[in-house]
Amino acid sequence: MDWECVIGLEIHAQLATKSKIFSGASTAYGAEPNTQACAVDLGLPGVLPVLNREVVRMAAKFGLAIGAHVAERSVFARKNYFYPDLPKGYQISQYELPVVEGGHLDIELEDGETRRIGVTRAHLEEDAGKSLHEDFHGMTGVDLNRAGTPLLEIVSEPELCSAREAVAYMKKMHSLVRYLEICDGNMQEGSFRCDANVSVRPKGQKEFGTRAELKNLNSFRFVERAIDFEIERQIAVIEGGGEVVQETRLYDADKGETRPMRSKEEANDYRYFPDPDLLPVELDRGFVEEVRKTLPELPGEKMERFVTHYGLSRYDAGALTASREMGDFYEAVVKASDGDPKLAANWVMGDLSAFLNKHGKEITESPVSAEMLGGMLKRIVDNTISGKIAKDVFEAMWNGEGDADTVIESKGLKQITDTGAIEGIIEQVIADNPKQVEQYRAGKDKVMGFFVGQVMKASKGKANPQQVNELLKAKLG
Amino acid sequence: MALDRDDVENIAHLARLAISDEDIPEYATNLSRIMELVEQMNAVDTADVVPMAHPLEMSQRLRDDEVTETDQRSEFQKNAPATEAGLYLVPKVIE
Protein backbone atom coordinates (compact mmCIF):
# COMPACT_ATOMS: atom_id res chain seq x y z
CA MET A 1 0.00 0.00 0.00
CA ASP A 2 1.12 3.58 -0.65
CA TRP A 3 1.30 5.82 2.39
CA GLU A 4 1.47 9.54 2.87
CA CYS A 5 2.33 11.44 6.00
CA VAL A 6 0.89 14.56 7.57
CA ILE A 7 3.12 16.76 9.70
CA GLY A 8 2.40 19.83 11.79
CA LEU A 9 5.10 21.72 13.69
CA GLU A 10 4.95 23.62 16.96
CA ILE A 11 7.93 25.93 17.14
CA HIS A 12 8.92 27.58 20.41
CA ALA A 13 10.85 30.77 19.79
CA GLN A 14 12.31 32.43 22.86
CA LEU A 15 11.68 36.16 22.57
CA ALA A 16 14.82 38.27 22.86
CA THR A 17 13.77 40.50 25.74
CA LYS A 18 15.95 41.72 28.59
CA SER A 19 13.47 40.74 31.29
CA LYS A 20 10.93 37.95 31.70
CA ILE A 21 7.39 37.90 30.39
CA PHE A 22 5.73 38.56 33.76
CA SER A 23 8.57 39.71 36.03
CA GLY A 24 11.57 42.04 36.07
CA ALA A 25 14.11 39.20 36.41
CA SER A 26 16.85 38.97 33.80
CA THR A 27 16.66 36.47 30.94
CA ALA A 28 20.44 36.39 30.30
CA TYR A 29 21.66 32.90 29.46
CA GLY A 30 24.19 31.01 31.55
CA ALA A 31 23.78 32.63 34.98
CA GLU A 32 24.40 30.71 38.21
CA PRO A 33 21.37 28.53 39.09
CA ASN A 34 18.38 30.40 40.54
CA THR A 35 20.09 33.80 40.62
CA GLN A 36 17.59 35.06 38.03
CA ALA A 37 14.48 33.53 39.57
CA CYS A 38 12.53 36.15 41.52
CA ALA A 39 9.43 35.79 43.72
CA VAL A 40 7.10 35.89 40.68
CA ASP A 41 9.09 33.23 38.83
CA LEU A 42 9.14 31.05 41.96
CA GLY A 43 5.36 31.33 42.27
CA LEU A 44 5.53 32.56 45.85
CA PRO A 45 2.15 33.40 47.43
CA GLY A 46 0.80 36.89 46.91
CA VAL A 47 2.75 37.83 43.80
CA LEU A 48 1.13 39.08 40.61
CA PRO A 49 2.33 38.83 37.01
CA VAL A 50 2.70 42.08 35.01
CA LEU A 51 3.01 41.69 31.25
CA ASN A 52 6.13 42.89 29.43
CA ARG A 53 5.22 45.36 26.63
CA GLU A 54 8.14 44.24 24.48
CA VAL A 55 6.82 40.68 24.39
CA VAL A 56 3.51 41.89 22.97
CA ARG A 57 5.27 44.13 20.46
CA MET A 58 7.43 41.23 19.24
CA ALA A 59 4.43 38.93 18.87
CA ALA A 60 2.61 41.61 16.86
CA LYS A 61 5.69 42.11 14.68
CA PHE A 62 5.76 38.40 13.96
CA GLY A 63 2.05 38.35 13.16
CA LEU A 64 2.39 41.19 10.67
CA ALA A 65 5.40 39.52 9.01
CA ILE A 66 3.43 36.35 8.23
CA GLY A 67 0.30 38.17 7.11
CA ALA A 68 -1.66 37.09 10.18
CA HIS A 69 -4.38 38.80 12.16
CA VAL A 70 -2.98 40.49 15.27
CA ALA A 71 -5.80 40.14 17.75
CA GLU A 72 -7.37 43.31 19.15
CA ARG A 73 -8.07 41.30 22.27
CA SER A 74 -6.20 38.27 23.54
CA VAL A 75 -6.43 36.41 26.80
CA PHE A 76 -3.98 34.54 29.00
CA ALA A 77 -5.03 31.16 30.39
CA ARG A 78 -3.67 28.71 32.91
CA LYS A 79 -2.47 25.34 31.66
CA ASN A 80 -2.52 23.11 34.71
CA TYR A 81 -0.04 20.33 35.36
CA PHE A 82 2.34 19.36 38.13
CA TYR A 83 6.06 19.17 37.56
CA PRO A 84 8.84 20.49 39.81
CA ASP A 85 10.22 22.86 37.17
CA LEU A 86 6.82 24.60 37.07
CA PRO A 87 6.50 26.05 40.59
CA LYS A 88 2.98 27.47 40.31
CA GLY A 89 1.44 24.17 39.21
CA TYR A 90 0.31 25.88 36.01
CA GLN A 91 1.91 27.52 33.02
CA ILE A 92 0.56 30.89 31.91
CA SER A 93 -0.21 30.49 28.23
CA GLN A 94 -2.90 31.49 25.75
CA TYR A 95 -5.66 29.13 24.71
CA GLU A 96 -8.89 30.34 23.15
CA LEU A 97 -7.83 33.85 22.21
CA PRO A 98 -4.16 33.90 21.09
CA VAL A 99 -2.39 37.11 20.11
CA VAL A 100 -1.72 35.97 16.51
CA GLU A 101 -4.23 34.09 14.34
CA GLY A 102 -3.76 32.80 10.79
CA GLY A 103 -0.95 33.76 8.46
CA HIS A 104 1.38 31.76 6.28
CA LEU A 105 4.97 31.12 5.29
CA ASP A 106 6.20 30.30 1.78
CA ILE A 107 8.87 27.63 1.58
CA GLU A 108 11.11 26.82 -1.37
CA LEU A 109 11.38 23.14 -2.20
CA GLU A 110 14.37 21.46 -3.81
CA ASP A 111 12.62 21.15 -7.17
CA GLY A 112 12.33 24.95 -7.26
CA GLU A 113 8.64 24.93 -6.37
CA THR A 114 7.26 27.26 -3.72
CA ARG A 115 4.69 25.97 -1.22
CA ARG A 116 2.56 28.08 1.08
CA ILE A 117 2.27 26.62 4.58
CA GLY A 118 -0.50 27.90 6.80
CA VAL A 119 0.16 29.08 10.34
CA THR A 120 -2.81 28.31 12.58
CA ARG A 121 -1.83 30.60 15.42
CA ALA A 122 1.01 31.95 17.52
CA HIS A 123 0.55 32.49 21.22
CA LEU A 124 2.54 33.85 24.11
CA GLU A 125 3.53 31.78 27.11
CA GLU A 126 6.13 31.46 29.82
CA ASP A 127 8.89 28.87 29.74
CA ALA A 128 9.40 26.39 32.59
CA GLY A 129 12.59 25.89 34.59
CA LYS A 130 15.09 23.09 34.17
CA SER A 131 15.24 19.80 36.07
CA LEU A 132 18.61 18.19 36.58
CA HIS A 133 18.34 14.47 37.10
CA GLU A 134 21.95 13.79 38.00
CA ASP A 135 22.40 12.31 41.38
CA PHE A 136 21.73 14.72 44.18
CA HIS A 137 21.49 12.00 46.86
CA GLY A 138 18.57 10.46 44.98
CA MET A 139 16.86 13.82 44.49
CA THR A 140 16.25 16.08 41.49
CA GLY A 141 17.82 19.53 41.26
CA VAL A 142 15.74 22.40 39.93
CA ASP A 143 17.07 25.59 38.32
CA LEU A 144 14.34 28.16 37.79
CA ASN A 145 16.36 30.78 35.90
CA ARG A 146 14.52 29.89 32.70
CA ALA A 147 11.10 29.92 34.37
CA GLY A 148 9.12 32.88 33.05
CA THR A 149 11.25 33.42 29.95
CA PRO A 150 8.93 34.64 27.17
CA LEU A 151 8.11 32.16 24.41
CA LEU A 152 6.17 32.55 21.20
CA GLU A 153 4.68 29.20 20.25
CA ILE A 154 4.08 29.09 16.51
CA VAL A 155 1.67 26.36 15.43
CA SER A 156 1.57 25.33 11.77
CA GLU A 157 -1.36 23.79 9.97
CA PRO A 158 -0.90 20.03 9.38
CA GLU A 159 0.18 20.76 5.82
CA LEU A 160 3.74 19.51 5.68
CA CYS A 161 4.14 16.32 3.66
CA SER A 162 7.68 15.13 4.36
CA ALA A 163 10.55 15.48 6.80
CA ARG A 164 12.34 17.64 4.23
CA GLU A 165 9.41 20.01 3.97
CA ALA A 166 9.26 20.22 7.74
CA VAL A 167 12.94 21.16 7.86
CA ALA A 168 12.50 23.72 5.05
CA TYR A 169 9.63 25.30 7.00
CA MET A 170 11.59 25.31 10.25
CA LYS A 171 14.65 26.87 8.58
CA LYS A 172 12.50 29.56 6.97
CA MET A 173 10.87 30.33 10.32
CA HIS A 174 14.31 30.41 11.97
CA SER A 175 15.52 32.90 9.37
CA LEU A 176 12.37 35.01 9.78
CA VAL A 177 12.50 35.42 13.57
CA ARG A 178 16.14 36.44 13.30
CA TYR A 179 15.37 38.96 10.54
CA LEU A 180 12.69 40.38 12.79
CA GLU A 181 15.17 40.49 15.69
CA ILE A 182 12.63 38.93 18.02
CA CYS A 183 14.64 35.73 18.74
CA ASP A 184 18.36 35.03 18.65
CA GLY A 185 17.70 31.60 17.09
CA ASN A 186 20.38 29.91 19.20
CA MET A 187 19.38 26.24 19.09
CA GLN A 188 22.14 24.98 21.38
CA GLU A 189 20.85 27.25 24.12
CA GLY A 190 17.26 26.19 23.41
CA SER A 191 16.14 29.59 22.10
CA PHE A 192 14.50 27.95 19.09
CA ARG A 193 13.05 24.46 19.42
CA CYS A 194 10.39 22.36 17.89
CA ASP A 195 7.82 19.60 18.50
CA ALA A 196 6.39 17.70 15.55
CA ASN A 197 2.97 16.07 15.21
CA VAL A 198 3.30 13.18 12.79
CA SER A 199 0.70 10.80 11.39
CA VAL A 200 0.40 8.55 8.34
CA ARG A 201 -2.58 7.51 6.24
CA PRO A 202 -3.16 5.50 3.06
CA LYS A 203 -2.55 7.73 0.04
CA GLY A 204 -5.75 9.50 -0.94
CA GLN A 205 -7.55 8.98 2.37
CA LYS A 206 -9.16 12.13 3.72
CA GLU A 207 -9.19 11.45 7.46
CA PHE A 208 -5.99 11.93 9.40
CA GLY A 209 -4.34 8.93 11.02
CA THR A 210 -3.60 8.85 14.75
CA ARG A 211 -0.71 11.17 15.49
CA ALA A 212 2.32 10.97 17.72
CA GLU A 213 3.93 14.11 19.13
CA LEU A 214 7.73 14.13 18.87
CA LYS A 215 9.61 16.19 21.42
CA ASN A 216 13.19 17.26 21.97
CA LEU A 217 13.99 18.22 18.38
CA ASN A 218 16.68 20.82 18.91
CA SER A 219 18.47 20.76 15.57
CA PHE A 220 17.40 20.74 11.92
CA ARG A 221 19.09 17.38 11.41
CA PHE A 222 17.23 15.82 14.36
CA VAL A 223 13.90 17.08 13.03
CA GLU A 224 14.51 15.35 9.72
CA ARG A 225 15.79 12.10 11.23
CA ALA A 226 13.14 11.88 13.93
CA ILE A 227 10.28 12.43 11.49
CA ASP A 228 11.68 9.96 8.96
CA PHE A 229 12.09 7.37 11.69
CA GLU A 230 8.60 8.00 13.03
CA ILE A 231 6.94 7.69 9.59
CA GLU A 232 8.64 4.32 9.01
CA ARG A 233 7.69 3.18 12.50
CA GLN A 234 4.02 4.06 12.11
CA ILE A 235 3.77 2.39 8.70
CA ALA A 236 5.41 -0.74 10.12
CA VAL A 237 2.96 -0.77 13.05
CA ILE A 238 -0.08 -0.50 10.77
CA GLU A 239 1.19 -2.96 8.17
CA GLY A 240 1.95 -5.35 11.00
CA GLY A 241 -1.74 -5.28 11.90
CA GLY A 242 -1.33 -2.94 14.88
CA GLU A 243 -2.65 0.52 15.68
CA VAL A 244 -0.72 3.74 16.22
CA VAL A 245 -1.23 5.01 19.76
CA GLN A 246 -1.68 8.73 20.36
CA GLU A 247 1.26 9.57 22.60
CA THR A 248 4.25 11.80 23.18
CA ARG A 249 7.54 10.36 22.00
CA LEU A 250 11.05 11.51 22.72
CA TYR A 251 13.74 11.54 20.04
CA ASP A 252 16.95 9.83 21.15
CA ALA A 253 19.72 11.35 19.03
CA ASP A 254 22.28 8.73 20.05
CA LYS A 255 20.14 5.81 18.97
CA GLY A 256 18.42 7.68 16.13
CA GLU A 257 14.98 6.51 17.24
CA THR A 258 11.84 7.80 18.94
CA ARG A 259 10.39 6.14 22.00
CA PRO A 260 7.40 6.76 24.25
CA MET A 261 7.93 9.33 26.96
CA ARG A 262 6.89 8.53 30.48
CA SER A 263 3.66 10.46 30.80
CA LYS A 264 4.02 13.90 32.34
CA GLU A 265 0.36 14.13 33.12
CA GLU A 266 -2.25 11.50 32.46
CA ALA A 267 -4.09 12.06 29.18
CA ASN A 268 -2.83 15.67 28.93
CA ASP A 269 -5.82 16.92 30.88
CA TYR A 270 -4.65 20.50 31.28
CA ARG A 271 -7.97 22.05 32.37
CA TYR A 272 -7.30 25.45 30.80
CA PHE A 273 -9.15 28.43 32.18
CA PRO A 274 -8.63 32.23 31.88
CA ASP A 275 -5.98 33.42 34.33
CA PRO A 276 -7.73 35.71 36.82
CA ASP A 277 -4.38 37.39 37.61
CA LEU A 278 -4.19 38.87 34.13
CA LEU A 279 -6.63 41.12 32.32
CA PRO A 280 -7.35 40.76 28.61
CA VAL A 281 -4.64 42.33 26.43
CA GLU A 282 -6.12 44.97 24.17
CA LEU A 283 -4.09 46.24 21.24
CA ASP A 284 -5.39 49.29 19.46
CA ARG A 285 -4.79 49.71 15.74
CA GLY A 286 -2.39 52.59 16.44
CA PHE A 287 -0.08 50.25 18.34
CA VAL A 288 -0.18 47.69 15.55
CA GLU A 289 0.50 50.32 12.88
CA GLU A 290 3.47 51.60 14.88
CA VAL A 291 4.82 48.04 14.98
CA ARG A 292 4.26 47.68 11.23
CA LYS A 293 6.60 50.64 10.65
CA THR A 294 9.42 48.73 12.35
CA LEU A 295 9.21 45.74 9.99
CA PRO A 296 12.50 45.21 8.14
CA GLU A 297 12.78 43.96 4.57
CA LEU A 298 11.76 40.31 4.94
CA PRO A 299 13.71 37.35 3.55
CA GLY A 300 11.29 36.75 0.66
CA GLU A 301 11.28 40.44 -0.32
CA LYS A 302 15.05 40.61 -0.10
CA MET A 303 15.38 37.54 -2.30
CA GLU A 304 13.12 39.01 -4.98
CA ARG A 305 15.11 42.24 -4.90
CA PHE A 306 18.41 40.35 -5.28
CA VAL A 307 17.00 38.55 -8.33
CA THR A 308 15.73 41.68 -10.08
CA HIS A 309 18.33 44.20 -8.91
CA TYR A 310 21.51 42.10 -9.09
CA GLY A 311 20.42 39.62 -11.77
CA LEU A 312 21.13 36.62 -9.54
CA SER A 313 19.48 33.21 -9.91
CA ARG A 314 16.75 32.39 -7.41
CA TYR A 315 19.01 29.75 -5.91
CA ASP A 316 21.88 32.19 -5.33
CA ALA A 317 19.53 34.90 -4.08
CA GLY A 318 17.96 32.42 -1.66
CA ALA A 319 21.35 31.37 -0.28
CA LEU A 320 22.50 34.97 0.12
CA THR A 321 19.35 36.02 1.98
CA ALA A 322 19.14 33.03 4.33
CA SER A 323 20.29 35.33 7.10
CA ARG A 324 20.11 39.07 7.38
CA GLU A 325 23.85 39.25 8.13
CA MET A 326 24.70 37.31 4.96
CA GLY A 327 22.52 39.60 2.82
CA ASP A 328 24.03 42.73 4.39
CA PHE A 329 27.57 41.40 3.87
CA TYR A 330 26.87 40.59 0.23
CA GLU A 331 25.47 44.02 -0.50
CA ALA A 332 28.46 45.67 1.16
CA VAL A 333 30.79 43.58 -1.05
CA VAL A 334 28.92 44.61 -4.21
CA LYS A 335 29.11 48.24 -3.14
CA ALA A 336 32.82 48.11 -2.35
CA SER A 337 33.62 46.30 -5.60
CA ASP A 338 31.90 48.86 -7.86
CA GLY A 339 29.77 46.30 -9.59
CA ASP A 340 29.74 42.77 -10.97
CA PRO A 341 27.16 41.35 -8.51
CA LYS A 342 27.54 37.86 -9.95
CA LEU A 343 31.27 37.80 -9.22
CA ALA A 344 30.56 39.06 -5.69
CA ALA A 345 27.94 36.31 -5.22
CA ASN A 346 30.40 33.63 -6.34
CA TRP A 347 33.04 34.81 -3.89
CA VAL A 348 30.67 35.18 -0.92
CA MET A 349 29.06 31.76 -1.47
CA GLY A 350 32.29 30.12 -2.63
CA ASP A 351 35.67 30.91 -1.10
CA LEU A 352 34.39 33.05 1.77
CA SER A 353 31.75 30.50 2.88
CA ALA A 354 34.28 27.68 2.56
CA PHE A 355 36.77 29.51 4.79
CA LEU A 356 34.05 30.38 7.32
CA ASN A 357 32.92 26.74 7.46
CA LYS A 358 36.44 25.44 7.76
CA HIS A 359 37.22 27.76 10.67
CA GLY A 360 33.79 27.48 12.29
CA LYS A 361 33.14 31.20 12.06
CA GLU A 362 29.97 33.21 11.48
CA ILE A 363 29.93 35.75 8.68
CA THR A 364 29.93 38.52 11.27
CA GLU A 365 33.28 37.20 12.52
CA SER A 366 34.98 37.05 9.13
CA PRO A 367 38.55 38.39 9.27
CA VAL A 368 38.04 39.48 5.65
CA SER A 369 35.57 42.34 5.81
CA ALA A 370 33.07 43.08 3.04
CA GLU A 371 35.14 46.15 2.15
CA MET A 372 38.32 44.06 1.84
CA LEU A 373 36.63 41.45 -0.33
CA GLY A 374 35.04 44.15 -2.48
CA GLY A 375 38.43 45.84 -2.84
CA MET A 376 39.91 42.59 -4.08
CA LEU A 377 37.11 42.01 -6.59
CA LYS A 378 37.84 45.46 -7.98
CA ARG A 379 41.35 44.25 -8.79
CA ILE A 380 39.97 41.22 -10.61
CA VAL A 381 37.62 43.37 -12.65
CA ASP A 382 40.33 45.88 -13.62
CA ASN A 383 42.68 43.00 -14.57
CA THR A 384 45.28 43.75 -11.90
CA ILE A 385 45.04 40.10 -10.80
CA SER A 386 43.55 36.97 -12.31
CA GLY A 387 40.80 34.96 -10.61
CA LYS A 388 43.36 32.29 -9.79
CA ILE A 389 45.81 34.67 -8.12
CA ALA A 390 42.85 36.18 -6.26
CA LYS A 391 42.52 32.96 -4.31
CA ASP A 392 46.05 33.50 -2.94
CA VAL A 393 45.26 37.14 -2.20
CA PHE A 394 42.10 36.09 -0.36
CA GLU A 395 43.97 33.60 1.79
CA ALA A 396 46.59 36.22 2.64
CA MET A 397 43.85 38.69 3.63
CA TRP A 398 42.23 35.98 5.77
CA ASN A 399 45.57 35.48 7.52
CA GLY A 400 45.78 39.14 8.38
CA GLU A 401 48.34 40.26 5.82
CA GLY A 402 46.41 43.41 4.97
CA ASP A 403 43.97 44.45 2.27
CA ALA A 404 44.13 43.30 -1.36
CA ASP A 405 46.28 46.16 -2.65
CA THR A 406 48.78 45.65 0.17
CA VAL A 407 48.99 41.91 -0.46
CA ILE A 408 49.30 42.32 -4.26
CA GLU A 409 52.07 44.88 -3.77
CA SER A 410 54.05 43.04 -1.08
CA LYS A 411 53.86 39.65 -2.80
CA GLY A 412 54.37 41.03 -6.27
CA LEU A 413 51.19 39.40 -7.58
CA LYS A 414 50.26 42.06 -10.07
CA GLN A 415 49.11 40.47 -13.31
CA ILE A 416 51.37 40.89 -16.32
CA THR A 417 49.33 42.56 -19.04
CA ASP A 418 52.19 44.12 -20.88
CA THR A 419 52.14 42.45 -24.32
CA GLY A 420 55.89 42.81 -24.78
CA ALA A 421 56.63 41.08 -21.47
CA ILE A 422 54.29 38.19 -22.22
CA GLU A 423 55.72 37.81 -25.70
CA GLY A 424 59.19 37.57 -24.22
CA ILE A 425 58.10 34.67 -22.01
CA ILE A 426 56.33 32.98 -24.93
CA GLU A 427 59.37 33.18 -27.14
CA GLN A 428 61.48 31.57 -24.45
CA VAL A 429 58.96 28.75 -23.98
CA ILE A 430 58.80 28.14 -27.74
CA ALA A 431 62.58 28.06 -27.95
CA ASP A 432 62.79 25.57 -25.07
CA ASN A 433 60.23 23.14 -26.54
CA PRO A 434 60.91 22.58 -30.24
CA LYS A 435 59.35 19.10 -30.18
CA GLN A 436 55.98 20.36 -29.00
CA VAL A 437 56.11 23.22 -31.52
CA GLU A 438 56.52 20.64 -34.26
CA GLN A 439 53.59 18.60 -32.93
CA TYR A 440 51.35 21.67 -32.79
CA ARG A 441 52.22 22.73 -36.29
CA ALA A 442 51.55 19.16 -37.45
CA GLY A 443 47.95 19.67 -36.31
CA LYS A 444 48.00 18.47 -32.70
CA ASP A 445 45.87 21.27 -31.22
CA LYS A 446 45.91 19.75 -27.78
CA VAL A 447 49.54 20.81 -27.30
CA MET A 448 48.19 24.35 -26.90
CA GLY A 449 47.27 23.53 -23.32
CA PHE A 450 50.86 22.53 -22.66
CA PHE A 451 52.13 25.89 -23.90
CA VAL A 452 49.63 27.88 -21.87
CA GLY A 453 50.67 25.91 -18.79
CA GLN A 454 54.36 26.52 -19.44
CA VAL A 455 53.86 30.26 -19.97
CA MET A 456 51.75 30.60 -16.84
CA LYS A 457 54.33 28.66 -14.88
CA ALA A 458 57.18 30.79 -16.20
CA SER A 459 55.23 33.94 -15.22
CA LYS A 460 54.44 32.48 -11.78
CA GLY A 461 50.76 32.59 -12.65
CA LYS A 462 50.78 36.31 -13.20
CA ALA A 463 50.39 36.51 -16.97
CA ASN A 464 46.90 37.47 -18.10
CA PRO A 465 45.44 34.16 -19.35
CA GLN A 466 43.43 35.65 -22.24
CA GLN A 467 46.43 37.51 -23.55
CA VAL A 468 48.58 34.40 -23.23
CA ASN A 469 46.09 32.44 -25.34
CA GLU A 470 45.86 35.05 -28.05
CA LEU A 471 49.56 35.71 -28.28
CA LEU A 472 50.45 32.02 -28.28
CA LYS A 473 48.08 31.34 -31.18
CA ALA A 474 49.61 34.18 -33.14
CA LYS A 475 53.19 33.09 -32.43
CA LEU A 476 52.63 29.41 -33.16
CA GLY A 477 50.26 30.01 -36.07
CA MET B 1 -24.41 15.56 34.39
CA ALA B 2 -23.79 13.33 37.38
CA LEU B 3 -20.26 12.65 38.52
CA ASP B 4 -19.41 9.22 39.90
CA ARG B 5 -16.71 8.00 42.24
CA ASP B 6 -14.14 7.54 39.41
CA ASP B 7 -14.62 11.13 38.23
CA VAL B 8 -14.05 12.47 41.74
CA GLU B 9 -10.93 10.37 42.19
CA ASN B 10 -9.58 11.51 38.83
CA ILE B 11 -10.22 15.20 39.57
CA ALA B 12 -8.62 14.86 43.00
CA HIS B 13 -5.60 13.19 41.47
CA LEU B 14 -5.19 15.85 38.78
CA ALA B 15 -5.28 18.52 41.50
CA ARG B 16 -2.99 16.42 43.74
CA LEU B 17 -5.56 16.47 46.54
CA ALA B 18 -5.63 13.67 49.08
CA ILE B 19 -9.26 12.95 49.91
CA SER B 20 -10.62 10.33 52.24
CA ASP B 21 -12.68 7.52 50.82
CA GLU B 22 -15.73 8.22 52.94
CA ASP B 23 -15.97 11.83 51.68
CA ILE B 24 -16.19 10.82 48.03
CA PRO B 25 -19.99 10.39 47.81
CA GLU B 26 -20.52 13.88 49.23
CA TYR B 27 -18.02 15.41 46.80
CA ALA B 28 -19.73 13.59 43.95
CA THR B 29 -23.10 15.04 44.94
CA ASN B 30 -21.80 18.58 45.41
CA LEU B 31 -19.78 18.61 42.21
CA SER B 32 -22.75 17.20 40.29
CA ARG B 33 -24.89 20.10 41.54
CA ILE B 34 -22.26 22.56 40.28
CA MET B 35 -22.36 20.83 36.93
CA GLU B 36 -26.14 21.20 36.90
CA LEU B 37 -25.74 24.93 37.42
CA VAL B 38 -23.28 25.04 34.50
CA GLU B 39 -25.79 23.16 32.35
CA GLN B 40 -28.46 25.67 33.27
CA MET B 41 -26.18 28.49 32.12
CA ASN B 42 -25.28 26.56 28.97
CA ALA B 43 -28.96 26.54 28.03
CA VAL B 44 -29.01 30.35 27.68
CA ASP B 45 -28.54 31.65 24.14
CA THR B 46 -25.28 33.64 24.28
CA ALA B 47 -24.62 33.82 20.54
CA ASP B 48 -24.32 37.62 20.58
CA VAL B 49 -22.49 37.92 23.88
CA VAL B 50 -18.72 38.47 23.96
CA PRO B 51 -17.26 35.90 26.35
CA MET B 52 -16.06 37.51 29.54
CA ALA B 53 -12.43 36.76 30.26
CA HIS B 54 -12.29 38.77 33.47
CA PRO B 55 -14.89 40.34 35.77
CA LEU B 56 -13.06 43.68 35.74
CA GLU B 57 -13.91 45.83 32.72
CA MET B 58 -10.31 46.83 32.20
CA SER B 59 -7.45 45.84 29.95
CA GLN B 60 -4.01 44.61 30.90
CA ARG B 61 -1.39 47.19 31.83
CA LEU B 62 2.00 46.63 30.25
CA ARG B 63 5.38 47.25 31.84
CA ASP B 64 8.63 48.33 30.19
CA ASP B 65 11.17 45.66 29.36
CA GLU B 66 13.67 46.40 32.11
CA VAL B 67 15.50 44.21 34.59
CA THR B 68 14.30 45.39 37.98
CA GLU B 69 14.93 42.31 40.11
CA THR B 70 18.19 41.57 41.90
CA ASP B 71 19.51 38.20 42.98
CA GLN B 72 17.88 37.16 46.25
CA ARG B 73 18.60 33.46 45.97
CA SER B 74 20.05 33.09 49.46
CA GLU B 75 16.91 34.67 50.98
CA PHE B 76 14.53 32.50 48.95
CA GLN B 77 16.47 29.33 49.64
CA LYS B 78 16.16 29.81 53.39
CA ASN B 79 12.54 28.68 52.90
CA ALA B 80 13.42 25.63 50.84
CA PRO B 81 13.57 22.23 52.55
CA ALA B 82 16.65 21.19 50.57
CA THR B 83 19.13 22.97 48.30
CA GLU B 84 22.52 22.16 46.84
CA ALA B 85 24.86 24.05 44.52
CA GLY B 86 22.22 26.77 44.18
CA LEU B 87 19.57 24.26 43.07
CA TYR B 88 16.27 23.54 44.78
CA LEU B 89 16.14 19.82 45.54
CA VAL B 90 12.91 17.87 45.13
CA PRO B 91 12.03 14.18 45.27
CA LYS B 92 13.27 12.44 42.17
CA VAL B 93 10.76 12.80 39.32
CA ILE B 94 12.26 10.35 36.85
CA GLU B 95 12.99 6.90 38.12
Please write down the HEC assignment for all residues of A440-455: HHCCCCCHHHHHHHHH
Amino acid at B45: D
Supply the mean pLDDT for chain A.
Answer: 91
Cβ <8 Å between B87 and A84: no
pLDDT digits (tens, 9 = 90+) for B62-71: 999 999 999 9
- To test the contact with chain B by mutation, choose from A279, A281, A283 the residue with the greatest count of B C-beta atoms within 10 A, namely A279
Q: Check pLDDT > 60 for residue A266.
A: no
For residue A73, the chain B residue with the least C-alpha distance is B59
Instruction: Collect all residues of chain A within an 8 Å Cβ-Cβ radius of residue B65.
Output: 17-19, 52-55
- pLDDT of residue A81 exceeding 70, the answer is yes
Q: Which residues of A102-141 are buried (b: 16+ CB within 10 A; e: fewer)?
A: bbbbebbeeeeeebebebbbbbbbbbbbbbbeeebeebbb
Q: State which amino acid sits at residue A366.
A: S
Query: What is the reported pLDDT for B70?
Result: 96
Long-range contacts of A382-385 (CB under 8 A, 24+ apart): A383/A415, A383/A417, A383/A464, A384/A408, A384/A414, A384/A415, A385/A413, A385/A414, A385/A415
Q: What is the mean pLDDT of chain B?
A: 92
B60 contacts A24? CB cut-off 8 A: no
Chain segment B49-83, per-residue pLDDT in tens: 888 888 888 899 999 999 999 999 999 999 999 99
| pLDDT tens string A456-468 | 888 888 888 888 8
Phi, psi of A216, deg, nearest 5: 75, 35
Contact state of A140 with B90 under an 8 Å Cβ cutoff: yes
CB pair distance less than 8 Å for B59 and A282: yes
Residues of B with CB under 8 A from a CB of A: 13-14, 16, 51, 53-54, 56, 58-69, 71-73, 76-77, 82, 84-94
Please indicate whether, in this complex, the C-beta atoms of B92 and A139 are within 8 angstroms of each other: yes
The answer to whether A278 contacts B61, with C-beta atoms less than 8 Å apart, is no
For position A461, what pLDDT does the model report?
81
In this predicted complex, what is the ipTM?
Answer: 0.91
State the Cα torsion A34-A35-A40-A44 to the nearest 10°: 60
Name A92's bridge partners. Answer: A78
Between A and B, how many CB-CB pairs are < 8 A? 134
Mutate to test the interface with B, among A15, A34, A250, A262 (most CBs of B within 10 A): A34
